[in-house]
Chain A
Amino acid sequence: MFRRSTVAVTACAVLATTATACSSGFDKSKNGPEQDTGKKQSLRVLIATSGDAETKAVKSATAAWEKKSGHKVTVQIAKDMDQQLAQAFAGNRPPDAFYINSDQFANYAKGGSLHAYGDKIPDAEDFAPELRKAFTYNGELVCLPKDSSTLGLVISTEKWKEAGLTEKDYPTTWDELEKTADKLTEGKTTGLVTTNEYQRLGVFMKQAGGWITDSKESKMTADSKENAEGLGFAKKMLRSGSMKFAKQVDTGWAGEALGKGKAAMIIEGNWLDGAMKADFPDVGYKVLPLPAGPAGKGTLAFSNCWGVAKESTHQTAAIDMIRHLTSKKEQLASSDQIGVMPSRTSVMKTFAKEHPESKGWAEGNSYAQRPVTVPGFTKVLDQFNADLQGLATGSPAEILSTLQRNGEQALKKGD
């Protein structure tokens, strides 16, 4: 008996020591770790790339900064960004700088993992105000938007010609959109294809004058009449068959449907340019602003931001690198390579001049709605997207009232 208990006690002691050793990595001082001020620091950067073009663009931009600053940068490509970042934060070894998706931003900011560096950027005012608002937490600009994208109506020029349509037939209202989509739906081609997520279908809510939250993101406004009208319009088109979700036509996303000739019109953003160049270089398309709804024009804006970890020991260097990556010159260069728009307002004109083909997207900047960034909202919006999948048979009002309920609960918890 004696022996058995000694052994048990020893085993427990060993386990306890290891446990403490394991968790010691967590010890955070309140103001973050001591900073490295050396001349030759080594930075780790984690990005979720949209493809080879973007990887190359980021690598060449960081290489240019390496030369200028004398520091060293290792760019890692994430396979599953959310999971890898969450693990890095939990393990207390986050990369120094990284992309932050707008739907994860609030979770990280609330958890205190991000170093808010907005006040160290002298020309922060130059970045698009809607995007700055998206990446502001508790009144502080936490990170800089790396670029910007909006949604537009993209039409296949070939299908357009086949149906005997001309430039005069570009739809500018919901009615025209519906009629044109009807006309273009033929055989294996669907008039309008998009994905079953609020990040696309939300444009109809916006065009009807509604949105998920109020402009301060402090109150849910999901169950409004306007939102129901917007989703009701989408439902009508889904039921008539002139609009379909990308997966219903056996494609992963709307861009693929456009490339494979399964869609005549799609709702997509600037990233489409890079993807079409890589996958379907021979398919002709044209970008138009989205048709206006009862409350006028509306579109959604998207961006990732460049986060700096609170636990990084190279914050100054990382901020300097980000300032280089988001400089006017680099933003215009990555526009050329990937197709996304600059997030600085001062170079938007140059962008529009250099890329007349993206006019439909560029125009959206003036009336775009920023993404929702509220802590704990990821699952609420995921559930909304799951419900939207059944929009064709479901009731918009019911879907929206579920969203309202779930959102209110999350807002209450977030306080």
Chain B
Amino acid sequence: MWGWLFVSPMVVGLGLFMALPILMAAWVSLLNWDGQSNPFTPDADFVGLDNYRSLLAEEGLAQSLLATSLRNNVYYVLLTVPIQTALALTLAITVNQRMLRGRSMLRTTFYFPSVTSSIAVATVFLFLFQGSGAVNRMLSWIGIKGPNWFQDSRGVLWVLLDAVGIVDGRPDGALGEHRLMGLPWVEWLAGPSVAMCTLILLAVWTTSGTFMLIFLAALQNIPRELEEAAALDGAGRRHVLRHVYLPALRPVLFLVTTLGLIATWQVFDQVYVMGQGDPANSTLTPAFLSYSYGFDNAEFGQGAAISFILLGIVLVMTGIQRFLLRERGVRGQLRRRLATATARQPAADEGKEAHRAHN
């Protein structure tokens, strides 16, 4: 009873501001609601799964907008998450070196983009990547004529293939005729647009600092003895990374990729600042599409349905990722147990405590 009393502030808070709104939104996603009447009366226009049907199964504008936004976001996730994780890990290992001079200054520098407001950073990027902006001017020093970044809706795959002469412009024919969810294959395969690439760059730049911090904390938890033992065994730096750091970092790696995955699927603020889907819908994301359906088109039911589709995607993706990063086989478990056993010898019952608390 006391337990419930103590947790009640949190339970009520979560219930009121998380669970209840989610349930309300789920109800709204089954309505044809324009945001200008009470959705919780019998008068509400209940349409069942119509909102989902027009998004997923019915040919039309709603479906092709959702398909476009999913295409954009898939490429955004596929590029952002691995790059930011790899970069964050590299940075963390770099600033974790005991021999490195000016460590704390470097740590601050790398972390700095993360504490800056993403709106401010996005605005600065707008100016940097203008057609005659700083980035293109720097590119011109080495003889490259940069694109007009935020106006370029071409997919980078076709741009690259065009540059090396494999395709001309963008391929037509079968790829252009056959469609999936109302979007021709040539669009699905195009890769992120040039404009989207700048958004990816921005996301990597701003978030890798935060993840560096998480990796750094975990790295400092790895006992020196392990590294020394590995060094005595004659392990090179690459081997230490592969056989000491990475296994020890596995839970943190899962945390970082999960956080990254969720954040990238929900990207909104940069899109809102940098063009609201422009150029030619190539930076449109489901989160922004949901907002735009609600507030610009007065179709809140449709908007809510999009956010539930997004929720489903995030859940599935996280599940897949959990499966991929699971402990593999007996060997992995054994190795892990050995590692923790050596690491935690002085505080052996700490693990037990944690285990009990978890139950």
The answer to whether B226 has its CB under 8 Å from any CB of chain A is no
Q: Give chain B residues whose Cβ lies under 8 Å from the Cβ of A11.
A: 11-12, 15
Q: Give chain B residues whose Cβ lies under 8 Å from the Cβ of A104.
A: 296, 298
The answer to whether A247 has its CB under 8 Å from any CB of chain B is yes
| A250 with B130: CB separation less than 8 A | yes
Q: Which residue of chain A has the shortest Cβ distance to B277 in the bound complex?
A: A386
B272 to chain A: closest CB distance in Å? Answer: 10
Q: Give chain B residues whose Cβ lies under 8 Å from the Cβ of A15.
A: 15-16, 19-20
Stretch at the interface among A57-65, A109-117, A280-288, A328-336: A109-117
In the complex, A249 Cα to B131 Cα: how many Å?
Answer: 7
Q: Give chain A residues whose Cβ lies under 8 Å from the Cβ of B36.
A: 89-90, 108, 111-113
Contact of A250 among B1, B11, B41, B132 (CB under 8 A): B132
Q: Among residues 128 to 155 in chain B, which have CB atoms less than 8 Å away from a CB atom of chain A?
A: 130-133, 148, 150-151, 153
Contact of A406 among B24, B39, B60, B297 (CB under 8 A): B60
B177 to chain A: closest CB distance in Å? Answer: 13
- How does the 8 Å CB contact mask read for A372-397 relative to B, with 1 for contact and 0 for none? 00001011101100110110010000
Q: Which residue of chain A has the shortest Cβ distance to B294 in the bound complex?
A: A86
| A19 with B24: CB separation less than 8 A | yes
In the complex, A406 Cα to B54 Cα: how many Å?
Answer: 13
| B278 with A82: CB separation less than 8 A | no
| A26 with B132: CB separation less than 8 A | no
In the complex, A23 Cα to B61 Cα: how many Å?
Answer: 32
Q: Give chain A residues whose Cβ lies under 8 Å from the Cβ of B292.
A: 379, 382
| B281 with A250: CB separation less than 8 A | no
Q: Which residue of chain A has the shortest Cβ distance to B132 in the bound complex?
A: A250
| A386 with B20: CB separation less than 8 A | no
In the complex, A26 Cα to B40 Cα: how many Å?
Answer: 9
A75 to chain B: closest CB distance in Å? Answer: 22
The answer to whether B200 has its CB under 8 Å from any CB of chain A is no
With A3-B1, A107-B297, A247-B150 as contacts: A90 and B35 at CB distance below 8 Å: yes
| A386 with B278: CB separation less than 8 A | yes
| B298 with A108: CB separation less than 8 A | yes
Query: What is the size, in residues, of chain A's interface with B at 8 Å between Cβ atoms?
Result: 45
Q: Which residue of chain B has the shortest Cβ distance to A14 in the bound complex?
A: B12
| B296 with A379: CB separation less than 8 A | yes
In the complex, A108 Cα to B35 Cα: how many Å?
Answer: 10
Q: Which residue of chain B has the shortest Cβ distance to A84 in the bound complex?
A: B295
Query: What is the size, in residues, of chain B's interface with A at 8 Å between Cβ atoms?
Result: 43
B135 to chain A: closest CB distance in Å? Answer: 13
The answer to whether A409 has its CB under 8 Å from any CB of chain B is yes
Q: Which residue of chain B has the shortest Cβ distance to A24 in the bound complex?
A: B38
Q: Which residue of chain A has the shortest Cβ distance to B4 in the bound complex?
A: A7
Q: Which residue of chain A has the shortest Cβ distance to B36 in the bound complex?
A: A111
The answer to whether A34 has its CB under 8 Å from any CB of chain B is no
In the complex, A327 Cα to B60 Cα: how many Å?
Answer: 45
**SS of B interface (majority):** loop
| A3 with B131: CB separation less than 8 A | no
In the complex, A405 Cα to B40 Cα: how many Å?
Answer: 34
| A18 with B20: CB separation less than 8 A | yes
In the complex, A95 Cα to B35 Cα: how many Å?
Answer: 16
B285 to chain A: closest CB distance in Å? Answer: 14
The answer to whether B260 has its CB under 8 Å from any CB of chain A is no
Q: Among residues 116 to 153 in chain A, which have CB atoms less than 8 Å away from a CB atom of chain B?
A: none
| A26 with B1: CB separation less than 8 A | no
With A15-B16, A390-B280, A406-B61 as contacts: A250 and B295 at CB distance below 8 Å: no
The answer to whether B293 has its CB under 8 Å from any CB of chain A is yes
Q: Among residues 288 to 322 in chain B, which have CB atoms less than 8 Å away from a CB atom of chain A?
A: 292-300
With A7-B4, A386-B278 as contacts: A409 and B294 at CB distance below 8 Å: no
| B37 with A26: CB separation less than 8 A | yes
The answer to whether B65 has its CB under 8 Å from any CB of chain A is yes
B151 to chain A: closest CB distance in Å? Answer: 5
The answer to whether B34 has its CB under 8 Å from any CB of chain A is yes
Residue among B1, B130, B295, B297 having the largest count of chain A Cβ atoms under 10 Å: B297
B280 to chain A: closest CB distance in Å? Answer: 5
| A378 with B11: CB separation less than 8 A | no
Residue among A108, A382, A405 having the largest count of chain B Cβ atoms under 10 Å: A382
Q: Give chain B residues whose Cβ lies under 8 Å from the Cβ of A387.
A: 280
| B35 with A89: CB separation less than 8 A | yes
The answer to whether B279 has its CB under 8 Å from any CB of chain A is yes
In the complex, A386 Cα to B280 Cα: how many Å?
Answer: 4
In the complex, A143 Cα to B42 Cα: how many Å?
Answer: 31
A395 to chain B: closest CB distance in Å? Answer: 12
- How does the 8 Å CB contact mask read for B1-41 relative to A, with 1 for contact and 0 for none? 10010000001100110011000100000000011111111
| A376 with B38: CB separation less than 8 A | no
| A389 with B153: CB separation less than 8 A | yes
In the complex, A387 Cα to B292 Cα: how many Å?
Answer: 17
Residue among B15, B34, B38, B132 having the largest count of chain A Cβ atoms under 10 Å: B34
In the complex, A408 Cα to B34 Cα: how many Å?
Answer: 20
Q: Which residue of chain A has the shortest Cβ distance to B35 in the bound complex?
A: A90
In the complex, A11 Cα to B4 Cα: how many Å?
Answer: 11
The answer to whether A166 has its CB under 8 Å from any CB of chain B is no
In the complex, A128 Cα to B38 Cα: how many Å?
Answer: 36
11 pairs from A and B in contact (CB 8 Å cutoff): A3-B4, A26-B41, A247-B150, A247-B279, A378-B296, A379-B65, A382-B296, A389-B151, A389-B278, A405-B61, A410-B61
Q: Beyond A3-B4, A23-B40, A382-B292: 17 further Cβ-contacts under 8 Å?
A: A4-B4, A19-B24, A23-B39, A28-B38, A86-B298, A89-B35, A90-B36, A111-B35, A112-B36, A250-B130, A250-B148, A379-B61, A379-B293, A386-B279, A386-B281, A387-B280, A389-B151
